[in-house]
Structure 1
Amino acid sequence: MESLSMHHYPVGVFHPNLWGDYFITHASTSSNELSQIQSKIDELKLNPSKMLKETTNHHQSLVLIDTMQHLGVAYHFEIEIDEILNKIHRTGFNPSEDMQTVALGFRLLRQHGLPASPDVFTKFLDEDGDLLNLGSTQSIEDLLGLYEASYFLTPDEKILEKAAYHARNHLELVVDDLNPYMKQMVSRALQIPRLKRVERLEARQFINVYELQQNRIEMLLEFAKLDFQCVQSLHHEELRHLSLWKKEHLRTETKFPFARDRVVESHFWMTGVYFEPCYSSARIFAAKILYLMAILDDIYDQRGTPEELQLFTETINRWELKNCDKLPEDLKQYFHILDNTLKESQEELKLEHKSFRIEYLRDE
């Protein structure tokens, strides 16, 4: 059977690739500079770890953990943070602890997958679910903490509905009168709650916000700046690898001119899932698959006729190379690219005895 002819394809116009060869031609931080930065990080890292281990006060521990998460450095101290949160989960909150401490603890426990009952907020509410003495006994930190915690409730947990609503209204009324640090904290929360923020963007933005805090920990701020630079350099190298893979190995602009070129966006998406350095290989692989899936989507939307796409779908479902000869040249090339990408990743995973994961992915 001869290859299916190319005719009557729908036409779409996508925004062109904005990045070009930027990540290929622009060098990231030099290896010597990175080595110096890493040495300084290793030196500074001892202090936050010591602070987490030695702090016994719930409020201080939770504020420190929250600050580390905002700054994007909490991944360095996962063991210490887990120990603190597990201890709070076992012992519970003290009856005398204020709303900020309870709300922050509730949010962090749920954020880390630990059970936390919303009943801990009962003592701050009246019979109707309103905050007791709204605006008179609670600080801005209290109201902000409760508002952020409300996003970690499940749909059937109604206890904070009214309280969070009134807390938001009160924060909106006073935000312009707050000091620069609290104004930033409140306005950012009102715009995008903590739960919905992308971690890397949050780290970059919060570094500037934290500089406004009068009682900031200078050592922690310096540590966060250096760590951000180090992680950003790694992400730059990953983008360089992906850009070269796309340009020299795939040559997608020539083979699939109808498709979106979104390799940088695919990588950015994956940094939102896991940004930590230890996931570098997984991030690169996932970005490749996302990029190829975007092209696949455009093949179905922009490129193929119904007859071609039916055969193309059957080829992918069966994963049989012999059926490729019946496909148009560009669809044949796409299938080979997808197959080779999975095979290359499978070879890499053999070193970790995890190559079976590619078989699961291929089956899906």
Structure 2
Amino acid sequence: MASASCTAPKTASEFHPTVWGDFFISYEPPPLQQSEKWMRERSDQLRKVVSQLFDAFDGVAEKMNLVDTLQRLGIDHLFEEEIATTLNIIHNVFNKFKHRDGSFIIDITKNPKGLLSLYDAANLLTHNEEALQKAILFSRHHLELMKSNLKSPLAEQVSRALQIPLSRTLKRVEAISYILEYNVHEQTYNPSILELAKLDFNLLQHIHQRELKTITQWWEDLSNDIGLDYIRDRIVECYFWSYSIYFEEEYTRARMILAKFFMLTSLLDDTYDTRATLEECRKLNVAIQSWDESDVSVLPDYLKKFFLKVMSNFVEFENELEPHIKHRNAYNRKVFQLLSGYYLQEAEWFHHNYIPSFKEQIEVSVMSAGIQALSVCILVVMGDIVTEEALEWAIGNNDAVRAGGEVARFMDDMAAFKNGRNKLDVASSVECYIKEYNVTSEVALAKIGSLVEDAWKTINQAHIDRRELLPFVHRVTNLSRSMAILFLDKRDAYTYSKDFKGTMVSHFIKTIPL
């Protein structure tokens, strides 16, 4: 039965205001510790020095440690060919931890670094890998027992891994911690590697600061023009999401377009969720599906400028693409239209007080999480390396893309359940599961948590099955990794971004002393 809210407007949710405002518009970073020219020249020199280490090390253990160090320090993107060649010759990683009968060597429990390596590696498991599942339980149990007795920095590394396994951790996040931990006490310590990591971080941060100035100004102009007061004002958070996908220097254009796309989808989401009546939702979806400026006339006044700005920004996205790839922007438009349809379905459920079955709910909500749309945009703006096959893979919502949507949806829903669902949101997957199966919230949360783990197994499998698409699977997986940190401990660091400000300060404001 339809509720009265079919015609009456909703009361806007009280999202807290931005914690940044116009900070980055007026922010003048302190001068770099050396000139940018000197830092770049020094970085090039060090890259040559570090590159030679791949040939200098003969043993497999030394090569593995080198790769691990470069990855943790966030500079593996500078040595992609060398690392690929090295990994191709390394096999049987788990055998050193086991007896011939498959049981774990008990001495490993006396070696916390070995246990941590086992735990990190085992979390790359796929479906039906019982041995690796046992390895996770075994190593996690013993790491939990010993973590309070470990010395720094191993204690911090174990704590981080137990919160988010290394394979699910954003490289840039791990780099900030590991740069401070990698010192003369490390067996693998090499001063050239550490200096290169610091230089690379600071040079890239300088680029990111300039981009934040530009993107914040774009948002201030847009928000002043459309004048929507019910939305989550989160442009810096959207930029963080974009930066988490590709932080490297060559992806400036990709970061900027993706951050804008993030923000536009967030505005659309908040409009359907917190402001529009059901009739307004339907009209907005019709306009978006037709993608014709003339349809602005059917929209209420408060949505007219928003709709026109969406269309003009998509034109700008296309204008920024090279002539031979401009046609790819049609993929962006298509997934934005699909996303609008999913938001409308949720609005229909909400306005009619309908609680869907668990299956119905996740079929829509996994898509409304937006990962498919964002995955497509990630690839559209990456340039010439992207193939049509990769774009079709993303828009087809295949393996890692679908699983990424499950990670985002289920982690979001668990956070919402813990913190109290917005009264204007449709019933979550947790609530639908509780109602349909008549179970306690603890049972439902455990089930949803297990579905997150299953989704990560699917993501890991995609890295094996989609070798020809691996660079793109990697970028899409970064989207899932960003969800792992934003929804850590069932928080929602996008909607409630005050708690996340410190993290972003470490990425975008604090430099690392050379």
TM-score by length of 1: 0.83
Task: Name the CA distance, whole Å, in 2 between partners of 1:296 and 1:360.
Answer: 18
Residue 243 (1) aligns with residue 200 (2) = no
Aligned twin of 2:198 = 225
2:43 to 41, 47, 57: 41
Letter aligned with residue 357 of structure 1: R
Aligned twin of 1:188 = 160
Letter aligned with residue 57 of structure 2: T
1:126 offset after TM fit, Å? 6.0
Aligned twin of 2:61 = 59
Q: Is the 8 A contact 1:10 1:301 kept in 2?
A: no
Q: Is the 8 A contact 2:212 2:236 kept in 1?
A: yes
Gaps of 5+ in 1: 1-5, 94-101, 104-119
Q: Is the 8 A contact 1:200 1:271 kept in 2?
A: no
Residue 13 (1) aligns with residue 14 (2) = yes
Residue 324 (1) aligns with residue 326 (2) = no
Residue 307 (1) aligns with residue 279 (2) = yes
Task: Name the CA distance, whole Å, in 2 between partners of 1:359 and 1:230.
Answer: 34
Task: Name the CA distance, whole Å, in 1 between partners of 2:282 and 2:135.
Answer: 55
Query: Equivalent residue of 2:84, what SS?
Result: helix
1:246 offset after TM fit, Å? 1.1
1:166 offset after TM fit, Å? 2.6
2:176 to 196, 204, 217: 204
CA deviations 1:276-303 (Å, max 9, x no partner) are 1221111110110110111111111222
Q: Is the 8 A contact 1:143 1:171 kept in 2?
A: yes
Letter aligned with residue 59 of structure 1: A
1:69 to 63, 68, 71: 71
Aligned twin of 1:158 = 130
Bigger Cα Rg: 1
For residues 102-121 of structure 1, the aligned pairs below 5 Å read: 102-103=93-94, 120=95
- Cα gap change, 1:29 to 1:87, in 2 (>3 Å): farther
Aligned twin of 1:338 = 310
Task: Name the CA distance, whole Å, in 2 between partners of 1:135 and 1:54.
Answer: 29
CA deviations 1:124-154 (Å, max 9, x no partner) are 1464x53133447x63322221111111111
- Cα gap change, 1:9 to 1:176, in 2 (>3 Å): closer
Q: Is the 8 A contact 1:130 1:163 kept in 2?
A: no
- Cα gap change, 1:159 to 1:343, in 2 (>3 Å): same
For residues 289-304 of structure 1, the aligned pairs below 5 Å read: 289-304=261-276
Aligned twin of 1:124 = 98
Task: Name the CA distance, whole Å, in 2 between partners of 1:255 and 1:268.
Answer: 24
Considering only aligned residues, what root-mean-square deviation do their CA atoms show, in Å? 2.3
Gaps of 5+ in 2: 1-6, 336-514
- Cα gap change, 1:164 to 1:296, in 2 (>3 Å): closer
Task: Name the CA distance, whole Å, in 1 between partners of 2:132 and 2:281.
Answer: 51
1:7 offset after TM fit, Å? 6.5
Query: Equivalent residue of 1:72, what SS?
Result: coil
Query: Equivalent residue of 2:238, what SS?
Result: helix
1:198 offset after TM fit, Å? 2.0
Task: Name the CA distance, whole Å, in 2 between partners of 1:191 and 1:8.
Answer: 41
Q: Is the 8 A contact 1:181 1:212 kept in 2?
A: no
Letter aligned with residue 66 of structure 2: L
- Cα gap change, 1:253 to 1:170, in 2 (>3 Å): farther
Q: Is the 8 A contact 2:108 2:114 kept in 1?
A: no
1:264 offset after TM fit, Å? 0.5
Q: Is the 8 A contact 1:72 1:224 kept in 2?
A: yes
- Cα gap change, 1:259 to 1:185, in 2 (>3 Å): closer
Identity, % of aligned positions: 33
Task: Name the CA distance, whole Å, in 1 between partners of 2:210 and 2:289.
Answer: 34
Task: Name the CA distance, whole Å, in 2 between partners of 1:125 and 1:20.
Answer: 58
Letter aligned with residue 228 of structure 1: F
Q: Is the 8 A contact 1:28 1:237 kept in 2?
A: no
- Cα gap change, 1:257 to 1:163, in 2 (>3 Å): closer
Task: Name the CA distance, whole Å, in 2 between partners of 1:166 and 1:363.
Answer: 46
Task: Name the CA distance, whole Å, in 2 between partners of 1:46 and 1:232.
Answer: 22
Query: Equivalent residue of 1:44, what SS?
Result: helix
- Cα gap change, 1:82 to 1:218, in 2 (>3 Å): same
- Cα gap change, 1:167 to 1:125, in 2 (>3 Å): farther
1:85 to 84, 87, 90: 87
Task: Name the CA distance, whole Å, in 2 between partners of 1:253 and 1:14.
Answer: 20
Aligned twin of 2:325 = 354
Task: Name the CA distance, whole Å, in 2 between partners of 1:343 and 1:308.
Answer: 25
Task: Name the CA distance, whole Å, in 1 between partners of 2:259 and 2:159.
Answer: 33
Task: Name the CA distance, whole Å, in 2 between partners of 1:18 and 1:254.
Answer: 20
Aligned twin of 1:28 = 29
1:360 offset after TM fit, Å? 1.5
- Could you tell which deviates more after superposition, 319-328 or 29-38? 29-38
Letter aligned with residue 320 of structure 1: D
- Could you tell which deviates more after superposition, 73-82 or 300-309? 300-309
Task: Name the CA distance, whole Å, in 2 between partners of 1:36 and 1:329.
Answer: 54
Q: Is the 8 A contact 2:207 2:249 kept in 1?
A: yes
Letter aligned with residue 20 of structure 1: G
CA deviations 1:140-181 (Å, max 9, x no partner) are 322221111111111300013334323222223333443423
